[in-house]
Amino acid sequence: MSEAIKHVSDATFQNDVLDAEGPVVVDFWAPWCGPCRLLSPVLEELATEFGGQIAFTKMNTDEHPATPGRLGIRGIPTLVFYVDGQEVDRMVGFAAKPVLRQRLEALAAKASAG
């Protein structure tokens, strides 16, 4: 995995996501999940493309089940979009790169609108 995406855990979620300033995307995934494996390279490319505007993170739901449970994550992959620690959007399942790019552009716009 590239350095454009940071792995977060139950222990670091508060600091890395909820206390972060600006937009953050969290990819809730598991190694056995086929759609998660398809989504991963797409997110890598978008993380590079949106680097500096949006922070990208991943949480392995098998290794860190407390946070996904608390957030009501029922299926993976799930992408949760935050601005200044507040959830503003959520997507469940695989999505093509153009669809994700559109959601990320909207997220960046929400963040800059304040």
36 in active site: yes
Whole-model pTM: value is: 0.95
At residue 1, does pLDDT exceed 60? no
Superfamily classification of domain 5-107: Glutaredoxin (3.40.30.10)
Q: Distance between terminal CA atoms of the chain?
A: 31
Active-site entry in 5, 17, 36, 104: 36
Q: Which of 8, 33, 73, 104 is catalytic?
A: 33
Known catalytic residue: 108?
A: no
41 against 51, higher pLDDT = 41
pLDDT at 51: 85
Domain coordinates of the chain in residue numbers? 5-107
Residues with Cβ within 8 Å of residue 70, at least 6 apart in sequence: none
- Chain segment 67-106, per-residue pLDDT in tens: 999 999 999 999 999 999 999 999 999 999 999 999 999 9
